Structures are given as C-alpha cells and as structure tokens.
Amino acid sequence: MTRGGPLHAPDSRAARRQRRELREPKQSLDPWRPVAMAWEPELSRDRSWEPVQTVFLANRECPFHCTMCDLWKQTLDHPTPLGAIPAQIRVAQSALAPAPHIKLYNAGNFFDPLAIPPNDHTEILELTSDYRTVIVENHPRLCGRRCQEFCRSCDGRLEVALGLETVHPTVLASLDKQLTVDVFDRAVDDLLSANASVRAFVILQLPGLRDEAAVEWAVRSIEHAWARGVDCCSLIPARAGNGWMDQLLAAGLFEPPRIELLEATVDRILANRARSASPTPRLQVDLWDIEKLSSSTDQREEIIARLAHFNQHQAWPDA
Ligand code: SF4
C-alpha cells in the first residue's frame, strides 16, 4: 500500500529551509582527522569474507539535502581544505589493522569537488594503490568526466556506491534527491564502461511505504539494480533522527521498519533467486544500529544472528 502522495513539492526551497530549521546543531569536526574509522569483514567482490578498512571522512556537506538523510550531522560547512583528505586517510591507515579493501565514505559524494578536492585525487590514488578494492560513495548525477577519469586510474579496483534508495517513482521524487531511475541507470552504465563496479543503497520503509509495500518495493529496487549490472546492494532500514523524519514519525507518516521486515525482504529475494538462472549478485543488510529496530516477536536476537549469517553466506543458516 502506498500512503498519501508526495510529502512536499520536490526541489522546493521552502521545504529545504523548513527541514534545515528542524535540524539539531552539527558536531564540530577537525578537517584533518577522520570522523570515525572501522575495521570489519564484509563479503568482497570475489565473494570472500575479508576485512575492510572504513574511513568516515570529514568533508564539506553534501549539497543535495535529501529528506531522509542524516549524514550532514558530521560534515563541514566549508570546502574541504586541500591535503586534508589524504591526511585523514594516512591517520586511518596508521591506526587500523591492514585489510585488502578500503572504503572512503564521505557522507556525501566523492566526486563533489568541494568535498574531495580534485587536486587531491593523485595522492588518494597513491595512498590506496595497494588495496584490491577502493569503495567510494557518490550521487548518480556526479558520475561525469572527473569520476570516469578516477575510475580508469583505479584500473578496475574502484567500486562506486550510489544511493538508489527506491525505484518507487513517487516516493523517490518525495526524497528531493534530484534523482530518477533513468539517471541512476545511466550512471551505472557510465561506471561500468569506465571499468568500475557498482554498489547500490536501497532503503527499506521510506515514508509513503509500509509493511508489505515496503518489502515489495525494496525487493523491486534491489532486483532493478542487479538487472542493470550492480554487483552489490546494501539494504538499509529507514531511520528517524534528522529532525524532518522525526516530525513525520510524530505525525504518523513514517515508522522505522520492524526487524522482521528486513528478514522478509531477504526471504523474498532468496525465493526469487531460487527461480532465477542468472548469476548471484551480492546483498548486504546494513546492521548498523540494528538494536534500535523494534520487533513484534521475541526472536529479535535470532533474527539479527540470521541476518549476520546471511551477509556472510548469502543464505539462511538452516538452508
Ligand atoms: S545525496 Fe546522499 S549524502 Fe547527499 S543528502 Fe542525499 S542521501 Fe544524503
């Protein structure tokens, strides 16, 4: 079931101003140190369970201001200084255990020149030349010439994570992401032709979709991405916490998914896979803050364990 129409006119300045007024103050950041870093295993492109270094980079805030996004909380209000991103990568590399893969996540778009200065690209390439995979995140509209050049310099080692969020046209428009499914598809084509691989973020239970409809559209979105050549989809539960989403929550227009809906989405994907003859792409369920999701059963710990098992093996433990 789709509830209601668009939540506001997309791309409306007044709506953006309204959302800004609902924000809490940002955290103060040092542009020469990463916001956070992590070392944890993930299923790699060659289907091995291997450690990944993740560097959460401090950089200029993303200019898109999507309605559901809370990543602005840990960003700078000014352009990132030249040299700061390589410095942050070096800090993380000296603090973390070695890993064959690295994620450079910047709460925005790696190919936004005010976030990641293009004059730092050469040094970033040098600092990451020993990794088998370098994973960055980027808006599908920013996959032009600068991105293509970087992809080619990585010689097949770059994976670009794009926020698809959903293929539901009305819900996608309501996010004010300035994205359509066609734009996403073209970005995937451009990245694949530049010898990059692609990951897609899909959000479960965005405002306007609930329960069965939320699962249905998450499955459709994941399968659309895979059909376009995306190698890995990350399934992310929608969450409150950015002011705007909390207001929708209070008005009964949004509810974070219960943990059973993540399980139901994976179940549906596995059932569809069993009927498909095509090769199996990756699905990773985002378990960050998973404890905060509610559950209507007393099985939540078991479900979390099953989802963690699925991430590694791409099948349920009892399969
Ligand atoms: S493009 Fe990504 S980082 Fe930027 S506001 Fe939208 S969801 Fe957040």
Rounded to whole angstroms, the Cα distance separating 180 from 187 reads: 11
Query: 62 alpha carbon to ligand 1 midpoint, in Å?
Result: 6
Taking Cα atoms as reference points, which of 113, 191, 111 lies closest to residue 152? 191
- Give residue 1's pLDDT: 31
The answer to whether residue 122 scores a pLDDT higher than 60 is yes
For the CA of 139, the closest atom of ligand 1 is: 1
Confidence of residue 171 (pLDDT cuts 50, 70, 90): very high
Mutate to test the pocket of ligand 1, among 56, 66, 171 (most ligand atoms within 8 A of CB): 66
For the CA of 177, the closest atom of ligand 1 is: 6
For 183-192, letters b (16+ CB in 10 Å) and e give bbbebbebbb
The answer to whether residue 30 scores a pLDDT higher than 70 is yes
Query: 206 alpha carbon to ligand 1 midpoint, in Å?
Result: 14
The answer to whether residue 205 scores a pLDDT higher than 70 is yes
Contact residues for 177 (Cβ-Cβ < 8 A; gap 6+): 64, 66, 139, 163, 165
- Give residue 65's pLDDT: 94
- Give residue 288's pLDDT: 94
Confidence of residue 286 (pLDDT cuts 50, 70, 90): very high
For 84-94, letters b (16+ CB in 10 Å) and e give bbbebbeebbe
Taking residues 250-264, what's their average pLDDT?
A: 97
Taking Cα atoms as reference points, which of 170, 164, 167, 89 lies closest to residue 130? 89
| CATH code for residues 13-313 | 3.20.20
For β-strands 101-105 and 49-56, DSSP reports them as parallel
Instruction: Please give the residue that has the higher pLDDT: either 236 or 6.
Output: 236
Confidence of residue 199 (pLDDT cuts 50, 70, 90): very high
- Which pair of structure tokens corresponds to residue 126? 């040098």
Give 52-107 pLDDT, tens digit per residue: 999 999 999 999 999 999 999 999 999 999 999 999 999 999 999 999 999 999 99
| Whether 89 contacts 43, CB under 8 Å | no
Weakest-pLDDT range from 28-42, 144-158, 268-282 = 268-282
Taking residues 142-162, what's their average pLDDT?
A: 96
- Give residue 41's pLDDT: 97
Please calculate the CA angle 217-220-226 and round it to the nearest 5 degrees: 140
Show the ligand 1 pocket: residues with CB < 6 angstroms. Answer: 62, 64-66, 69, 71, 107-108, 139, 163, 177
| Whether 71 contacts 109, CB under 8 Å | no
From atom 7 of ligand 1, which residue's Cα is the shortest distance away?
Answer: 69
- Give residue 278's pLDDT: 63
The overall average pLDDT reported for the chain is 94
Rounded to whole angstroms, the Cα distance separating 208 from 133 reads: 36
Which helix (H) or strand (E) segment is 271 a member of?
A: helix 259-274
Give 33-42 pLDDT, tens digit per residue: 999 999 999 9
- Give residue 319's pLDDT: 72
Query: 176 alpha carbon to ligand 1 midpoint, in Å?
Result: 10
Taking residues 237-256, what's their average pLDDT?
A: 97
From atom 8 of ligand 1, which residue's Cα is the shortest distance away?
Answer: 69
- Give residue 308's pLDDT: 98
**Is the Cα torsion angle 194, 162, 114, 101 positive or negative in sign?**
negative
Residue 304, SS3 per DSSP: helix
- Give residue 9's pLDDT: 46
- Which pair of structure tokens corresponds to residue 313? 């093996």
- Give residue 318's pLDDT: 84
Mutate to test the pocket of ligand 1, among 139, 174, 180 (most ligand atoms within 8 A of CB): 139
| Whether 150 contacts 178, CB under 8 Å | no
The answer to whether residue 8 scores a pLDDT higher than 80 is no
Query: 165 alpha carbon to ligand 1 midpoint, in Å?
Result: 10
Query: 271 alpha carbon to ligand 1 midpoint, in Å?
Result: 31
Query: 279 alpha carbon to ligand 1 midpoint, in Å?
Result: 30
Query: 184 alpha carbon to ligand 1 midpoint, in Å?
Result: 14
From atom 6 of ligand 1, which residue's Cα is the shortest distance away?
Answer: 66
Give 172-198 pLDDT, tens digit per residue: 999 999 999 999 999 999 999 999 999
For the CA of 69, the closest atom of ligand 1 is: 8
Q: Exposed (0-12), middle (13-18) or buried (19+): which is 97, by Cβ within 10 Å?
A: exposed
